[in-house]
Structure 1
């Protein structure tokens, strides 16, 4: 990245920073319901080389797209389209929060798959925030960094995401999953040693792209907020009697949404207990149940994703589910050690035979969060 920066800017960067994509092991669409999540960071990451400028202008360069944009203060406009909005949004939100951030040249490259539900956008935001915080000596705690990055996506980009993605990209540690209470911000690094358990976690990108900036994601969030109002609770995380809650809701769609969120929160809590006890294989039925809930109650899967999950189970996966915001993207599958490539290839063959796009796959290892390289 240093060489790419020098080629584009004409001088050496002051440093290089990295922030990862993430896989959400369990806990889908629970974050904006003040619930529980458990992601881990991927080795795939965004890399950013950066250098301060003397003016209040920002040069944003994508090595991958061979594109360059230069912005001034007046160009930091909410709702601006394009990849550059994720970087510009971080500049905007830092300044909105009262942090003294001057100009910078920012050159970025990422190998986090785009549109796969692996938080490629959060990686861009979190690496930009890490770089600017270091360059301008900003004292910002890790969780607050995640919250600021989420504000950039919510308020500048216009995607109504929860805190999961940015928290994972910022806070995760290698060899661990991140158990997070999205209301209190409390986190626990839970050991997640797949190899010791004789297992691998296959991540398969169905190549059906999704986007958070669309009506479906926003509709799910709005329906949860509507259900919470009817039930008289601050958020669906506060539903303690699911049967009573379902009986109190007349709308069948709201009943399904509530059932998913409440049962998914419970699955996260059960998964944490399993990992604390070192029982990685015990996650398998929770993955299966999570997928059924997302398919039937939250209605965020698509045929290619459902078929990939079914195929993975048929070819020997212990458990499998969609991961990410939905409407495309990736599945994860818990498989015996050494079988990820075999199962991935078998699922890919089934997908193409069914007329779905050709997928990509890899074996995921829990990796470190954002920081200077």
Structure 2
């Protein structure tokens, strides 16, 4: 029998690592923020027969998804099992504006949106703990040993201050500034960047760890700047962080070109974000007019897309 459930929707937003990428691996703090300018929407509709999946990468039976979508299959199966429902008679439709493999949390966001949609479809209340537990089923397949940061970030509304192995610490963000994110069009090379830093650490541990500690201090300074609504100090910290990350081999010519472009066109600060060697860069502007100018300049300089998000009230 075809289930009579009504269509249901689940959503999630993108995320941005503001400060602390790579140094967080060595026990230093990092700051991540929700980025609602990009988002994912999952819709569940009744459809008789085997579960169907409809997304930009695949259309067909969920049971036959290609290998790179196994994490999606796993989160659907785990959630339906958790709900004690049958894995049939519905269709999953995914629409996303979060670019994949850019460090913006796309895999976590789709898992979060999927869990929310399925709980809504079967009319069951979903707690935050249950959501993160089920979303991390997908993240474990996608990333092996996830910190849980992406799932927490794409499902939440507040910035998180994070130190490896410690609980996430949420804090308020109401900054009179705009964050512009630009996509290089290149996949991030996180694994290569991590390996590069590890090699530098092996060759000259003292110098490398000094850079890592500096990045950690910049993350601490950035948190204080955000809490005191001081975009200038935050921008200066972003600039310095990019210089250090570049010295560690995490940047590339494309990212450096976009960072320079943003600064030339009025950015208070600019840096790469995420794994590096591709992916995205971020810049900070004091007002919407400057943010628009920076965004246009980044597109003219080769960025394939940009997004702007107001961090607080003017």
Assess if the C-alpha contact under 8 Å between 1:41 and 1:172 holds in 2.
yes
Deviation at 1:14, TM superposition (A): 3.1
Q: Distance in 2 between matches of 1:30 and 1:148?
A: 28
CA deviations 1:200-242 (Å, max 9, x no partner) are 2221112222366xx4266479x49xx9xxxxxxxxxxxxxxx
Q: How many residues align?
A: 307
Q: Compare 135-144 and 125-134 and name the one that shifted more.
A: 135-144
Instruction: Name which of 70, 81, 88 aligns with 1:85.
Output: 70
Cα distance, 1:100–1:211 mapped onto 2, change above 3 Å: farther
Deviation at 1:11, TM superposition (A): 8.3
Cα distance, 1:149–1:216 mapped onto 2, change above 3 Å: farther
CA deviations 1:291-325 (Å, max 9, x no partner) are 1222112x222210011112222222111100122
Indicate whether 1:153 and 2:113 are aligned. Answer: no
Deviation at 1:136, TM superposition (A): 5.1
Assess if the C-alpha contact under 8 Å between 2:32 and 2:153 holds in 1.
yes
Q: Distance in 1 between matches of 2:107 and 2:152?
A: 13
Q: What are structure 2's unaligned runs of at least 5 residues?
A: none
Cα distance, 1:358–1:38 mapped onto 2, change above 3 Å: closer
Aligned to 1:305: 255
Aligned to 1:168: 153
Indicate whether 1:329 and 2:279 are aligned. Answer: yes
Q: Distance in 2 between matches of 1:287 and 1:142?
A: 31
Instruction: Name which of 139, 163, 184 aligns with 1:206.
Output: 184
Assess if the C-alpha contact under 8 Å between 1:93 and 1:152 holds in 2.
no
Deviation at 1:34, TM superposition (A): 5.4
Deviation at 1:126, TM superposition (A): 1.4
Matched residue SS, 1:185: coil
Q: What are structure 1's unaligned runs of at least 5 residues?
A: 1-8, 228-248, 352-356, 368-373
Assess if the C-alpha contact under 8 Å between 1:61 and 1:108 holds in 2.
yes
Q: Distance in 2 between matches of 1:58 and 1:218?
A: 39
Deviation at 1:45, TM superposition (A): 0.7
Cα distance, 1:366–1:167 mapped onto 2, change above 3 Å: farther
Cα distance, 1:317–1:128 mapped onto 2, change above 3 Å: same
Deviation at 1:152, TM superposition (A): 1.9
Instruction: Name which of 52, 65, 73 aligns with 1:59.
Output: 52
Assess if the C-alpha contact under 8 Å between 2:271 and 2:283 holds in 1.
yes
CA deviations 1:16-51 (Å, max 9, x no partner) are 111011122222135555553322222221101114
Assess if the C-alpha contact under 8 Å between 2:11 and 2:113 holds in 1.
yes
CA deviations 1:260-280 (Å, max 9, x no partner) are 443333222221122222223
Indicate whether 1:186 and 2:168 are aligned. Answer: yes
Deviation at 1:332, TM superposition (A): 0.9
Assess if the C-alpha contact under 8 Å between 1:32 and 1:161 holds in 2.
no
Aligned to 1:285: 236
Q: Distance in 1 between matches of 2:205 and 2:85?
A: 43
Q: TM-score, normalised by structure 2?
A: 0.81
Aligned-pair Cα RMSD in Å: 3.5
Assess if the C-alpha contact under 8 Å between 2:179 and 2:311 holds in 1.
no
